[in-house]
Structure 1
């Protein structure tokens, strides 16, 4: 169990590296529509659940994705623009709560 948790923590720690190494064509495919983004996030939430991640771990990982997207990617649609604007004005606690909400939205 401890090894599984270390694996889960390792996966969460590599979020930014994995996103930054993703090709621009793949990013465009995921981010071109909000439905595409939700589908991608849903797949990652499902994978995390299969790996034994609980809701808190999933939200922590979603928060890292949100941090990356807000700082490194331009929004490609109105929904992503709204999420980015909320992210920019939110406190860490509010960002974390929004991450929980996104996990629930796609879960």
Structure 2
């Protein structure tokens, strides 16, 4: 199964209460993303693979979830107005953000 398939499977398995808990607070969202990045690194995923996974998650969230806070609202708006290249850059920046913490 490719990275996109694994991410999609993980998102589909997550119950709504857990998803709500993660999305409610931006710090919690970053912690969750940081944990997933750490696991991806341990599995040997490349930076490109993790960026693609982050892209898929961001696209999913932009289409299926309402922002729960100001930070998520800004990210969603940036995602919507960005083209493919800008969305890739935003995904890469999110990964750098959570790795730096």
> Within 2, Cα distance between the matches of 1:30 and 1:59?
20
**Which structure would you say has the larger Rg?**
1
> Within 1, Cα distance between the matches of 2:96 and 2:11?
21
TM-score (norm 1): 0.87
Give the unaligned 5+ runs of structure 1: 1-8
TM-score (norm 2): 0.92
Aligned length: 99
Give the unaligned 5+ runs of structure 2: none
Aligned to 1:28: 20
> Within 1, Cα distance between the matches of 2:86 and 2:28?
24
CA RMSD, Structure 1 to Structure 2 (Å) = 1.2
User: Runs ≥4 in structure 1, deviation > 6 angstroms?
Assistant: none
